[in-house]
Structure 1
Amino acid sequence: MRFLIVVLLACVSACGAESEREPAGLALLNATIWTGDPDNPIAEAILIEGDRIVAIGSSSSIRPQIGQARVIDATGRFVVPGFIDSHVHFLDGGFKLSSVQLRDADTPEEFARRIGEFAKTVPAGAWITGGDWDHQLWGGELPHRAMVDELTPAHPVWVNRLDGHMALANSLALELAGVTRDTADVAGGTIERDGNGDPTGVLKDNAMDLVFDVLPPPDDAAYDRALEAATSHLAARGVTSVHHMGSWDTLAVVQRARDHGTLKTRVYAAVPLADWERLRDEVAKHGRGDAWLRYGVLKGFVDGSLGSHTAAFHAPFDDKPSDRGFFINTEEDLQTWISGADAAGLHVVVHAIGDRANEKLLDIFERVARENGARDRRFRIEHAQHLRPEDIPRFAELGVIASMQPYHAIDDGRWAERYIGPIRIQTTYAFQSLLDAGATLAFGSDWTVAPATPVEGIYAAVTRRTLDDANPEGWVPNEKISVEEALVAYTRNGAYASHEEHEKGMLKLGYLADLVVLDSDLTRISPEEIGNAEVVMTIVGGEIVYQP
């Protein structure tokens, strides 16, 4: 049901002296507002002028200030600061909304059927990409190119696992990429081979570049459509800001939208860590952007993923005793890049999954901070999934932000114990332990690896009930956190994680007017109901960008 929206065409008599100021754009009354502001945690009404909050408090205190404004009667609905998704692949998500959908394909036959059916809808020669398949749904056996070759003789196929750390190529795609049994293994990656030494079609991490290098790039129009699709998708889920883990190409797409005034999601845009010198020079020439598009941040990788057996652990995988994962980049390269970027005043965020990867990255962060001297650097570890107990306090000690994705816990929790055993899972997605140690948590989705739906992420952090319902009391339940702690991680801490806590992440006088209206009060409903809460309005910069 839509809100009651009233447009006041003239100032009511109660306006008094307020008629002298610029007319307010929007007034939200009779709401239950969780502001995220520790000094003023609860309110009933907000007044917005332009893109900023000019008053917040009780409905009775806001009414006399309305002037000529559009008034929204929230009828008691729950309002929070706009959700900040601290880890997305923004443009990839937009493209994948229109690609083959394999996320819930639960048998090899269904996997192949969907690819074959999708091939019938696109011209011969068109690449079939995306997919986000999960082989755990059919028992864990990796797919093989033979499964789809007969169904796609005229289409190169390059479909990725949901974590983005491995993908399946059909024989045509391998031929175009020049990948044969004679192709040498790739450092920091794996070419899966059968018993005869022939490629199965599955490539992992750095080996994926063999196909990416021949994948035709999208044109500007395709990029623009993907950005628009991603923006609309996220607005419907209450996401008003994203930290985009992207490339120079995708930064250019977002910059073009910003220049044209069409950007409706605020973007903190990362580029590859190895390019830190280029970013240093760009920032020196052009600054770090504005409230819509900010840059100055670099994204790097230590290892791969648990689901692909490429996360770097101290001990071998329980289900693959000869394997303990690997580093995608060398420790020496990471040290050089991070040190140089940090000395240049840039923001460094780095992916680490396995306990060995997290330990080494914390070691590098510690050395760089000591060598480069004190500053407000806010190093981030993206994912921080599997930690040794002794490394958990180091996050707070070093001021390292744990940028985590709670939905992964209820997804991976279905099968992670088979991979790393009952001991190591005790400090997997260690939300509560990190908070108890004084660390800062910033939450995101890793979309399209997981849904870009913050209420589902909050549900996951609060309940830790796995997707298969096998853990009704929560998977590793001692790591559950409260609703308010999860809300902070999706709002105020997300702003802190991009050095923007002084203008967003809270509903506060002078802050950006980014907010979300939900149909349920997340702090009052049962934890099991949180994932069913729906967004009924999203406002960015004082403009309604979503209303069903």
Structure 2
Amino acid sequence: MRLKPLQSALSILIAAGAMGAAHADTVIDNANGYTLNARGDVVQFASLAFDDKGRIIAVGAAKEVAARAPNAKHVDLQGRTVLPGLIDAHGHVFGLGAMLTQLDLSTSTSLDGALKAIGDYARANPQQAWVRGRGWNQEIWKLGRFPTARELDGAVADRPVWLERVDGHAGWANSRVLALAGITDKTPDPAGGKIVRDANGVATGVLVDAAQQLVTKVLPHETEQEGRMMLDRALENMASVGLTSVHDAGITVGEDKLYRDYADHDKLTARIYAMIGGTGPDFDQLAKNGPLLNYGHDMYALRAVKLYADGALGSRGAALLAPYSDDPHSHGLLFHTNKEIDAMITKAIRKGYQVNVHAIGDAGNKQILDTFAKEIPANKAGDKRHRIEHAQVVTLNDIPRFKSIGIIPSMQPTHATSDKNMAETRIGADRMKGAYAWRSFLAQGSRIACGSDFPVEAPNPFFGIHAAVTRQDKDGAPIAGWYPEQEMSLKEAFRCFTLDAAYAGHQEKTLGSLEAGKYADFIVIDRDLFKMSPYDIYKTTVLETWVGGRQVYQKK
């Protein structure tokens, strides 16, 4: 990659923040620094100064930065690489915390291995009234079907067991849970959901999308102490992989309360840009006073709403215009009628919120684009930067509509490398032309906001940058990349996890790059991102994480 010369970068970065010689707490010296300027070019710097409020005073060459911060404490980085703090534009913070405190099946490679892990976990945690966990994937197990309650009973029969699929769009229950939820062979499928049944109509124990609510209604409520434990674990994990900001895709009233409390007591180690989960009772309560923009010194914002159009591809819940290639009897599931989703989007827009809608299948994406096309001009809401989360399978005719309507595609690069084992089987080669189509969006001028959808995927953003650039998994497969014509350049991938993710949260004036006047959110890593082999990007280790000029993580 050809970088801008340091001196030309200096004129932009220093002049952009002519703030006078304000007192600086810290100057970071001898750095191998990279950031983006206002035009989105990658520029290098050797020194970074920030004041005691965590705002950047100057970025550039050591001599010029030192002159701007004459009374500062200096820290010598000894040539280590510095980047802007990375932003995950779509994660589930409490879901990550739950995975870190409950049973994690994401590494299980077979049904037998998963059942052993479940049994071992239950025996090691006899105090837990329910055995809960997440991360199973029948595609990796190569079952050719979903697992069953009877198989789960063989691992744990004396307590309820409820295990969410890796994508969160299906759950696996044992017989105790089915009984507690009142699910029988005659229980009808709820709207937007499916009770998986065998050839004889017997409920097998797996519930897809809205059918999961039959179980969540009888799940014990998490205590505040459990919520705090989950948030603590998630924040620790996020800091360790270099995330300084996360867009939390769907929160509750209780989670909002914890975020505010943590912000009040300086316990947030990442900035949270939150989306209210749905437009129901939680929205009515949280939206009474309109969007919350800059709470707790810009550590917390609640200015968006998260809605759902459909389910996921792996569980065949994603809504398709034509049947699944590997299941000609199914089109997947639209969660709401056109009238219902229209009412939800209108309600959120009229309250002043950005609307971010999960849509994976081409039918789900079309439904939401159609609704936005009607409601954005009708409500004069073109400046809200509404988003479609995932935009995973889109018809070639609908991709240009993201640009013309003004919708941000919020996409997760590791979804492509995780789904490559089943995506084409699900939708066929023809529909793959508009699937995971990052290059198609970038070519038309769309700004992609990148994330991981953790805990569906690992929260490590370097996994996402690696996937975006190589279209390969960490084993280097496939050798030529999976549909490599859709890959990003390194600069584009860097932007989508920094400046463009900040833009998707209305925060590009304060976050996303290291420029005078912005917050000193940055990370120190163990290698040079712009000089290493792209195939090794996922190996990057974070050494330090700083948020607002405060170090929140240091590798031991």
Q: Which residue of 1 aligns with 2:195?
A: 191
Q: Is the 8 A contact 2:396 2:433 kept in 1?
A: no
Distance 1:462 1:455 in 2: 11
Distance 1:125 1:279 in 2: 32
Q: Which residue of 2 aligns with 1:231?
A: 235
Distance of aligned partners of 1:31 and 1:437 in 2 relative to their CA distance in 1, 3 Å threshold:
same
Matched, 1:81 2:84: yes
Q: Which segment is superposed worse, 76-85 or 269-278?
A: 269-278
Distance 1:38 1:348 in 2: 26
Distance 2:324 2:417 in 1: 20
Q: 1:289 aligns with which of 282, 295, 304?
A: 295
Q: Which residue of 2 aligns with 1:121?
A: 124
Distance 1:511 1:401 in 2: 23
Distance 2:324 2:463 in 1: 29
Q: Is the 8 A contact 1:409 1:464 kept in 2?
A: yes
TM-score (norm: length of structure 1): 0.93
Q: Is the 8 A contact 1:464 1:476 kept in 2?
A: yes
The C-alpha deviation readout for 1:261-299, integer Å capped at 9, x for no partner, is 211111011112323544431327x76635111002100
Q: 1:148 aligns with which of 147, 152, 166?
A: 152
Distance 1:376 1:98 in 2: 39
Q: Which residue of 2 aligns with 1:510?
A: 517
Distance 1:450 1:282 in 2: 34
CA-CA distance at 1:56 after TM superposition: 1.0
TM-score (norm: length of structure 2): 0.92
Q: Is the 8 A contact 2:110 2:140 kept in 1?
A: yes
2:135 partner SS:
strand
CA-CA distance at 1:191 after TM superposition: 0.5
The C-alpha deviation readout for 1:2-27, integer Å capped at 9, x for no partner, is xxxxxxxxxxxxxxxxxx96642221
Q: Is the 8 A contact 1:124 1:155 kept in 2?
A: no
Distance 1:280 1:94 in 2: 26
Q: Which residue of 2 aligns with 1:30?
A: 30
Q: Is the 8 A contact 1:125 1:154 kept in 2?
A: no
Distance 2:224 2:153 in 1: 31
The C-alpha deviation readout for 1:68-110, integer Å capped at 9, x for no partner, is 5442222222222111101111011012112112112111111
Q: 2:111 aligns with which of 89, 108, 112?
A: 108
1:294 partner SS:
strand
The C-alpha deviation readout for 1:20-60, integer Å capped at 9, x for no partner, is 96642221112122222145732211001121111111012
Q: Is the 8 A contact 2:162 2:174 kept in 1?
A: yes
Distance of aligned partners of 1:435 and 1:287 in 2 relative to their CA distance in 1, 3 Å threshold:
closer
The C-alpha deviation readout for 1:294-339, integer Å capped at 9, x for no partner, is 0021000000000000101111111101111110122211101111
2:279 partner SS:
helix
Q: How does 1:114-513 map to 2 (within 5 A)?
A: 114-123=117-126, 126-139=129-142, 140-245=144-249, 246-275=251-280, 276-283=283-290, 289-290=295-296, 291-373=298-380, 375-466=382-473, 469-513=476-520
1:323 partner SS:
coil
Q: Which residue of 2 aligns with 1:92?
A: 95
- Amino acid in structure 2 at the alignment position of 1:84: I
- Amino acid in structure 1 at the alignment position of 2:383: D
Q: Is the 8 A contact 1:273 1:348 kept in 2?
A: no
The C-alpha deviation readout for 1:100-145, integer Å capped at 9, x for no partner, is 1211211111111000000011125521222211111121421111
Distance 1:335 1:485 in 2: 33
Distance 1:422 1:387 in 2: 13
Q: Which segment is superposed worse, 469-478 or 494-503?
A: 469-478
- Amino acid in structure 2 at the alignment position of 1:44: A
Distance 1:502 1:74 in 2: 27
Q: Is the 8 A contact 1:386 1:428 kept in 2?
A: yes
Distance 2:28 2:132 in 1: 43
The C-alpha deviation readout for 1:422-463, integer Å capped at 9, x for no partner, is 111122111111000111100001000001011110000000
CA-CA distance at 1:468 after TM superposition: 5.9
Structure 2: runs of 5 or more not aligned: 1-19
Q: Which residue of 1 aligns with 2:12?
A: none
Q: Is the 8 A contact 1:277 1:341 kept in 2?
A: no
1:97 partner SS:
helix
Q: Is the 8 A contact 2:263 2:295 kept in 1?
A: no
- Amino acid in structure 1 at the alignment position of 2:49: L
Distance 1:156 1:282 in 2: 40
Q: Which residue of 1 aligns with 2:16?
A: none
Distance 1:389 1:490 in 2: 25
Q: Is the 8 A contact 1:504 1:511 kept in 2?
A: yes
- Amino acid in structure 1 at the alignment position of 2:199: G
Q: Which residue of 2 aligns with 1:44?
A: 46
Q: Is the 8 A contact 2:81 2:524 kept in 1?
A: yes
1:229 partner SS:
helix
1:407 partner SS:
helix
1:181 partner SS:
coil
- Amino acid in structure 2 at the alignment position of 1:34: Y
Q: Is the 8 A contact 1:159 1:169 kept in 2?
A: yes
Distance of aligned partners of 1:178 and 1:401 in 2 relative to their CA distance in 1, 3 Å threshold:
same
2:287 partner SS:
helix
- Amino acid in structure 1 at the alignment position of 2:470: T
Distance 1:206 1:467 in 2: 33
Distance 2:208 2:382 in 1: 37
- Amino acid in structure 1 at the alignment position of 2:109: D
1:362 partner SS:
helix
1:411 partner SS:
helix
- Amino acid in structure 1 at the alignment position of 2:264: D
Q: Is the 8 A contact 1:288 1:296 kept in 2?
A: no
Q: Is the 8 A contact 1:34 1:79 kept in 2?
A: yes
The C-alpha deviation readout for 1:474-493, integer Å capped at 9, x for no partner, is 11110001111011100111
Distance 2:381 2:98 in 1: 41
Distance 1:407 1:287 in 2: 30
Structure 1: runs of 5 or more not aligned: 1-19
Distance of aligned partners of 1:467 and 1:412 in 2 relative to their CA distance in 1, 3 Å threshold:
farther
- Amino acid in structure 2 at the alignment position of 1:123: P
Distance 1:263 1:467 in 2: 31
CA-CA distance at 1:248 after TM superposition: 2.0
Q: Is the 8 A contact 1:414 1:466 kept in 2?
A: no
